[in-house]
């Protein structure tokens, strides 16, 4: 009788100990079934256009030459050059300044309405200093630009066999406006497409012949450029 009572106490104690271990053993199993809470990665940082850059460009140049009573002509050619500038970004707005220079082989001609000679113009240099104002969609920048411009021209009056009757050359100053799109391929490298209009006004040009004779001609000049290029941000 005493043995049975003692055996019952032992069983009761074992049962209580076992029930006490159930929550402890179940905790790791239940924890394994709970979903793990992971922290979302931060969004990628937006591209920043602040910085200075240098690059190259290539495109086409179109000229409109009005020689008054002597007639007018259009000319076309290629241009290639480089640019240097700096940008500063505030929020999504980008402000900058840029200087550029390009060499060209643009030329055009017409038959002189007075003398019958061939009046010819050639543009071999085009440069500008402009301010830029743009809006950035992350890596895409749209911008407008305006400023001062300079071009170097050579003018000829030619006989039918292309020998020169009279010639002159000059550097003109004027103004330019334009705009374009630029896209940052990497942090340092970007590419752009741009259109620019140039107005160099009307100037009186003095032609001098081989015999020393001179002729004054009022020439109005306008130019348009379409170019593509790349910039490397320092």
Tell me the CATH number for domain 51-233: 2.40.160.20
- Res. 210 pLDDT band, cuts 50 70 90: confident
pLDDT digits (tens, 9 = 90+) for 109-141: 999 999 999 999 999 999 999 999 999 999 999
The pLDDT assigned to 21 comes to 41
The pLDDT assigned to 19 comes to 42
Q: Scan for tokens 């019958």, then name that residue.
A: 116
- Quote the CA–CA distance of 129 and 132 in Å, as a whole number: 10
- Quote the CA–CA distance of 105 and 123 in Å, as a whole number: 6
The pLDDT assigned to 36 comes to 59
Q: How many CB atoms lie within 10 A of CB 209?
A: 13
The pLDDT assigned to 23 comes to 46
Instruction: Provide, rounded to the nearest whole percent, the portion of the chain with pLDDT above 70.
Output: 83
pLDDT at 41 > cutoff 90: no
Token reading at 17? 């100990």
pLDDT digits (tens, 9 = 90+) for 50-68: 999 999 999 999 999 999 9
Helix (H/G/I), strand (E/B), else coil: 182: strand
Taking residues 12-17, report their average pLDDT: 44
Q: Where are the domains of the chain?
A: 51-233
pLDDT at 5 > cutoff 60: no
Taking residues 177-201, report their average pLDDT: 98
Helix (H/G/I), strand (E/B), else coil: 68: helix
The pLDDT assigned to 7 comes to 40
Instruction: Provide, rounded to the nearest whole percent, the portion of the chain with pLDDT above 90.
Output: 79
Query: How far lies 3's CA from each of 9, 12, 14, 15, in Å?
Result: 10, 14, 17, 18
């Amino acid at each position: 009788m005493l043995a049975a009572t003692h055996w019952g106490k032992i069983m009761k104690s074992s049962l209580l100990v076992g029930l006490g271990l159930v929550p402890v053993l179940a905790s790791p199993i239940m924890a394994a079934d709970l979903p793990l809470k992971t922290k979302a990665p931060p969004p990628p940082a937006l591209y920043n256009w602040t910085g200075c850059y240098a690059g190259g460009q290539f495109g086409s140049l179109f000229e409109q030459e009005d020689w008054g009573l002597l007639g007018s002509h259009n000319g076309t050619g290629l241009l290639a050059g480089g640019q240097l500038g700096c940008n500063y970004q505030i929020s999504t707005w980008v402000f900058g300044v840029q200087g550029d220079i390009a060499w060209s082989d643009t030329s055009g001609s017409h038959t002189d309405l007075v003398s019958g000679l061939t009046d010819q113009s050639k543009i071999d240099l085009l440069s500008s200093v402009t301010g830029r104002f743009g809006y950035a969609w992350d890596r895409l920048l749209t911008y407008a630009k305006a400023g001062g411009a300079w071009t170097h021209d050579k003018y000829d009056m030619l006989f039918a066999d292309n020998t020169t009757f009279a010639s002159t050359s000059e550097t003109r100053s004027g103004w330019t406006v334009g705009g374009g799109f630029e896209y940052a391929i990497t942090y340092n490298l970007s590419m752009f497409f741009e259109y620019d209009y140039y107005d160099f006004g009307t100037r009186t040009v003095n032609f001098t012949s081989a015999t020393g004779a001179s002729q004054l001609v009022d020439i109005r000049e306008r130019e348009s450029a379409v170019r593509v290029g790349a910039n490397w941000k320092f």
